[in-house]
Amino acid sequence: MKPSLAKGTRDFTSLEVSRRKYIINILQKNFELFGFQPLETPSFENLSTLTGKYGEEGDRLIFKILNSSINEAKEDKKTQMLTDFQKALDKPFSAESFTDKALRYDLTVPFARFVAMNHGKLTFPYKRYQIQPVWRADRPQKGRFREFYQCDADVVGSESLWQEVDLVQLYLKSFAELKVSVTIHINNRKILSGLAEYAGITDKLIDFTVALDKLDKIGKDGVVKELLERNISKESIDKLDFLFNQSNDALENLLQLKEKFVGNEIGLKGVEELEFVITQSLNLGVDIQNLVFDITLARGLDYYTGAIFEVKADEAQMGSIGGGGRYDNLTEVFGVKNVPGIGISFGLDRIYLVMEELNLFPEEAASNVEYLFANFGGEETSEALKLIIQLREKGISAELYPESAKINKQFTYAEKKGIKNLVFLGEEELKNNTVTFKNLEAGEQKTVSLEEFLNS
């Protein structure tokens, strides 16, 4: 059988794993600096937990798992169940009859489920971060995978808009440390609801936001076409035409909305909230160029109720590398009311691609071995292992070439593996209590005392 990968998945080499770990360590450090605590949830959830939370398009991308009752059945029963399943494929049937679990689509809904199950034990506001893989049955392309990592930070139990301001700070601090120049695009779901009311399409809010969310991909003409296909009238679309001609001044655009939203309570509330977040962020030193009011930003997830964020790299064509928003009603579907929440996510895989494209990974992001000890056999090998143990106790990576092979072969191994130094501990060195090592990057070789070597 020819080995192959499932479409939309990847293997990661040691260099890639080390670089991903470099990103994760910076994010994790900042999550904890901002007061977030770690949490992990299962890779799969009950199907009912996930469906109905991501909108029509999102639900179609959920990876469903074959009903566990089929897997647990006895062999003869399993055969019959699978036969029935095959027959069902040829006629209308409910997929849920054969699936009751699914791989998680994101980390937010499982988090809301966790909060609902444990709300009596948690201290609110509850701040958690989560770094785990998610799965989507999407069409693979550059920067879009079927298995990928999300790095989330969420706060539940607070309606304070200072949470939004703090999350802007978390984004900017983290990307600054990764040396990725970014722009945070921000909008408010209440503004989108206000626009729907302004255009007389309140009953088409979801259709409106789903189409608007595709602006970057299909352009204005594509959005207009999709709105028409979703039975939104040309008259309503014409009223919304100003959306596609915004100025670069966020506060000026908000002022324009205030004029259009006179008597529009939900729209004005959204403008007020967004104005607060932008103004306070600017007061804290955020450059207005890094925080952009994007009135067409919709993020097509049904659970958002307030602020919505999307982060884009300034120097690479990669789509969003982060996003999130406020979701004040998500735990209600699990029977727990009055637990407002807001969260943001960092797209690890896309951040990696951006940093790779821009050559932003530092040398220390690679986990190369510091010293390879040449194997001369006999007593020299035994003494080399004693020295290796001392280096490891100091936190210095070292290994012994496993066989007593020709020195050229050991050189080749070290170079291919990217090991920095090749160490020679032969008969002469043992007699003089010295160590000889060659820096393979600089091509320099020197002999030093054993004490100097251990303390260098």
Clarify whether residues 353 and 373 are in a common domain. no
Q: For position 56, which CATH number holds?
A: 3.30.930.10
Please say if the pLDDT value at position 129 is more than 90: yes
Number of domains in the chain: 2
Residue 92 lies in a domain: no
Q: Is 9 annotated as a binding residue?
A: no
Cβ partners under 8 Å of residue 300, min gap 6: 55, 57, 58, 209, 210, 213
Residue 3 included in any domain: no
pLDDT band at 86 (very low <50, low <70, confident <90, very high): low
Residues 328 and 416 in one domain: no
- Domain co-membership, 381 together with 433: yes
Residue 351 within a domain: yes
In angstroms, the Cα distances linking 320 to 135, 137, 163, 448 are 17, 19, 21, 52
Confidence of residue 107 (pLDDT cuts 50, 70, 90): very high
| 337 and 426 part of one domain | no
Q: Does the annotation list 107 as a binding residue?
A: yes
Same domain, yes or no, for 131 and 241? yes
Residue 323 in any domain: the answer is yes
pLDDT tens column, 224-237 = 898 888 888 888 88
Say whether pLDDT at 253 is over 90. no
Distance CA(92)–CA(90), nearest Å, equals: 7
- Distance from C-alpha of 364 to C-alpha of 105, rounded to nearest angstrom: 33
Q: Does 346 share its domain with 224? A: yes
| pLDDT one-digit tens code per residue, 172-218 | 999 999 999 999 999 999 999 999 999 889 888 888 888 887 887 88
Specify whether 312 is located in the same domain as 395. no
> Is residue 5 included in any domain, yes or no?
no
Q: In the predicted model, is pLDDT for residue 77 greater than 80?
A: no
**Is residue 148 assigned to a domain?**
yes
Q: Which domain CATH number covers 398?
A: 3.40.50.800
133: closest CA among 12, 218, 233, 234?
12
Q: Are residues 344 and 382 in the same domain?
A: no
413 in a labelled binding site = no
Domain final residue pick, 313, 329, 357: 357
* Beta carbons within 8 Å of 361's beta carbon, 6+ residues apart: 19, 22, 355
Q: Given 299, 333, 357, which residue is the final one in a domain?
A: 357
Place of tokens 């030093």: 448
Q: Is residue 330 part of a domain?
A: yes
- Same domain, residue pair 207 and 312: yes
Asked if the structure places residue 396 within a domain, the reply is: yes
User: What is the model's pLDDT at position 98?
Assistant: 64
Above 90 in pLDDT, residue 319?
Answer: no
Last residue of a domain, one of 299, 329, 357: 357
In this prediction, residues 305-330 reach a mean pLDDT of: 93
Q: Would residue 337 be called left, alpha or beta, if left means φ above 0 and alpha means ψ between -120 and 50 degrees?
A: beta
Query: Is the model's pLDDT at 387 over the cut of 50?
Result: yes
Q: Is the pLDDT of residue 93 over 50?
A: no
- In this structure, the answer to whether residues 410 and 434 fall within a common structural domain is yes
296 is in an annotated binding site: no
Q: Are residues 372 and 322 in the same domain?
A: no
**Domain hosting residue 281, numbered range:** 14-63+105-357
Mean pLDDT of 42-61: 88
- Residue 108 counted as an annotated binding residue: yes
Q: Do 277 and 321 lie in a common domain?
A: yes
